[in-house]
Amino acid sequence: MKQNEQAFRNELNHAIDFDKVLSQFAAKTSFSLSRQRIEQALPSQDLFMIREQLDLVRDSIEFFREGSTLSLQGCSDIEESVRKSEKQMTLQPKELAEISLFLSTCHRAINALQDTDLDKLKEYSNSMERVHDLQMAIDSCIDLSGAIKEDASAELIHCRNQLMDIRKTLNERTRDFIKKHNASLMESLTTSIQGRVCVLVKAGDKNAFGGMIHGQSQSGLAFYVEPSSFVPLNNQIQMILSKIETEKARICQELSMFVKRNSQSLLSDLETMTLLDVAFAKAKWCLEKDGVVPQIQKRDHTLILENAGHPLIDPKKVVRNTYRLQDAQKALMITGPNMGGKTVTLKTIGLFVALAHAGFPVAAHRALIPYYDSMWFTIGDQQSIENDLSTFSSHIQSLSKICSQSNQNSFVLLDEIGNGTDPQEGSALAIAILDHLIQKGCTVLTSTHFNALKSYGKTNAAILVASMQFDEKTLKATYHYIPGVSGASYAFSIARQYHLDASILEKAQAIKEANKDQNSQELEKLERLQNEVEQEKEKFDQLIQKAHQLQREAVSQKQKWEKAKKRFDQEYESRLETLLQEKEEQMEKLYEEMRQAQQIKPHQRAKYLRDMDALRFNQEEGDEKESFSVGDYVQIENLSTHGEIIELRKKEAMVLANGMKLKVKTNGLKKIRRPKVQQIPQSHREHTDKTFSSVPLELNIIGCRVEEGLRALDHYLDQCVAHHVKQVRIIHGMGTGRLRNAVLADLKKHPAVKSTASGGPREGGLGATIVELK
């Protein structure tokens, strides 16, 4: 922006609480550099950079909405360490460990983003360098706590082994010394003074063992003595420790040079990770606040904020409103009572404009914002004791600056314009200033209580007059924004609520009426009518919203049941397919057993056939319910018989089975194939024709009397024997059972019959008998 940066920052923070909102974003960052980047953010004039940031935020939001996750914990500001390496300074092990952890986080980010279809995130991912060799080199020498590993180099391993051996020798020598000179010691323990092993010797014997005296106890009765036998070993330990420190310094120096060689890549990755962390913080805030990434447009001055709520207000209490300014509407004038939400509305719109130009999302469901190259804010008391300025003087000073420096791409926010002086002069001044700014082409947001200013706004097509709704019955603000309606101040009503003396209020009302001109009276009437209409409209809108909600719930329930039905159908089909597959496997097994049988007995053959028919029958049961019509041949499941449908009535059917008419429910029927039955000619029954012809494999004697049926059976069996038929089916039906029993008895006595078995489900069941002939 064109204003001085620090003064502009102070203006934003004072007017629209810009810093407090930025703190919400900063709290969602992963490391200090990105947090600092957000806290120092300001609206920009660079439209390309603004859109670049907003596009990155948009992709980040989509990344999280897809269910992807990426933690940038582990990032830290390594710039100072990298700059030190560039100056050939040796980095400390902890600094090197931070660089390794940073690179590990970079690798995690690259891996998470390299397969994404989101262009901006993929572009940033592709711009990063892994610097894998540097990370491996650091990890091989330094552990996670920032200490150099004992096996970081061959020299360190050698020194540590030497140190262990010497300390072992020293420990043995100290034990021998303590055991031998225990009477001269104050205690049977050793101690370490500046890394050298000593013993606490009684004062009288301090010079008895040679070596060095390192000090005395507080009582003066004992001295810390390093006996001469300890000195060579202590000296060797100190030399090895010095070698170890020298080797550690060499390792750190070598790794620091490695960092220097990759400094540009590290700094580039740091910048990319900072931008990603900032974008992710913005995306998390946007999702939490149910917000949106704004669109910045240069086409015209149309401004749209749908369902916008101030982010600093408790989400459970905030009232979301929709604000619109068409291209021809250069100014928005908000009216209404004090504490009605006028200032909050101005701050919300101003805040969202500033956030959008700083590359941040906003707490709205849609945001279309014109591009502005300068922003001006005057909100609150501008009184300055230091500069000897009153509130009005300071206000006028700000207005003078805005009027001279603003242009057609300026956004101007003026709270209570013209306030702080004589109402008539203040109104006139406010009208003149607004007219000047509108002529310049600025986008102006203002609030007022002045009737003259309201009248001016109502008659100017470039000004949208709006108000904040106020409930006259409860005398409480609803904080609902109402475009196109000017609002009354309700000063007397509010004063009455706070128990101001009634006589004072009556006198004030009388003075107001006496001084009120015709225009003011008409304006107040219009305001009351508008408020009444708006209240009715709001009630109607609530009813419409409720109806829409009920409709959405009904649609949601319908979709829910449709999904459930689809799921159940899929489960049913899956279970049916599994069942059919099992039955097919069982049938294949039966066929295989029959094929492999060398000499299959008749009763086993009959059993195999019945089992296969049962499997087929069970498969058919898995099908969907069928519709029936007259003439269908069906199986009566609960009677184990079959027949033809001769009559249908709703859910009942008349079935002709075994010569009998049976009335059954259709849900107990199953369509089957009609048996191919060849009737025995009547001449056979009457034995009028004794000649033998080709013999059918079935004999149907349903409907015959017992004697007639047995005669036909005997004649039929004679033909079968003569023609060497080995297996036939006798269809006798169930009926009363007399014919069936007689047939079975006759077959048992017949010399040509080898065995008998009841028919399977597809062979007539108990209504037929399978006969195996000799």
Binding annotation for ATP: 336-343
How far apart CA 305 and CA 483 sit, in angstroms, is 13
How far apart CA 25 and CA 355 sit, in angstroms, is 11
Q: Amino acid identity of 235?
A: N
Give the annotated binding-site residues. 336-343
Q: Amino acid identity of 742?
A: A
Q: In terms of Cα–Cα distance, which of 320, 362, 346 is closest to 478?
A: 320
Q: What are residue 338's phi and psi, to 5 degrees?
A: -65, 150
How far apart CA 392 and CA 381 sit, in angstroms, is 9
Q: Do the beta carbons of residue 453 and residue 430 sit within 8 Å?
A: yes
- Residue 95 CB coordination number (10 Å): 22
If DSSP codes are grouped into helix, strand and coil, which group holds residue 438?
helix
How far apart CA 717 and CA 723 sit, in angstroms, is 10
Output the DSSP codes for 219-271. TSSEEEEE-TTTHHHHHHHHHHHHHHHHHHHHHHHHHHHHHHHTHHHHHHHHH
- Residue 530 CB coordination number (10 Å): 18
Q: Is 456 left (phi over 0), alpha (psi -120 to 50) or beta?
A: alpha
- Residue 317 CB coordination number (10 Å): 8
Q: Do the beta carbons of residue 732 and residue 701 sit within 8 Å?
A: yes
Q: Tokens standing for 27?
A: 């709290």
Q: In terms of Cα–Cα distance, which of 44, 600, 599 is closest to 360?
A: 44
If DSSP codes are grouped into helix, strand and coil, which group holds residue 338?
coil
Measure the CA dihedral 238/244/249/253, to 10°.
160
Beta strands in 658-700 (DSSP E): 660-665, 669-671, 698-700
List beta partners, residue 321: 308
Q: Tokens standing for 697?
A: 């494999």
Q: In terms of Cα–Cα distance, which of 643, 653, 536, 605 is closest to 754?
A: 605
Q: Tokens standing for 91?
A: 């980095």
Q: Tokens standing for 272?
A: 């990319």
| Helix, strand, coil percent content, the chain, rounded in steps of 5 | 50, 20, 30
How far apart CA 333 and CA 323 sit, in angstroms, is 12
Which stretches within 71-92 are classed as H helix? 79-86
What's the distance, Cα to Cα, between the start and end of the chain in Å? 112
Q: Do the beta carbons of residue 431 and residue 448 sit within 8 Å?
A: no
Alpha-carbon distances, residue 503 vs 490, 624, 641 (angstroms): 17, 87, 103
How far apart CA 250 and CA 156 sit, in angstroms, is 11
Q: Tokens standing for 251?
A: 């390792």
Kind of pairing, strands 463-471 and 331-335?
Answer: parallel
Q: Do the beta carbons of residue 641 and residue 656 sit within 8 Å?
A: no
Beta strands in 672-750 (DSSP E): 698-700, 727-731
Q: In terms of Cα–Cα distance, which of 285, 198, 282, 188 is closest to 237?
A: 198
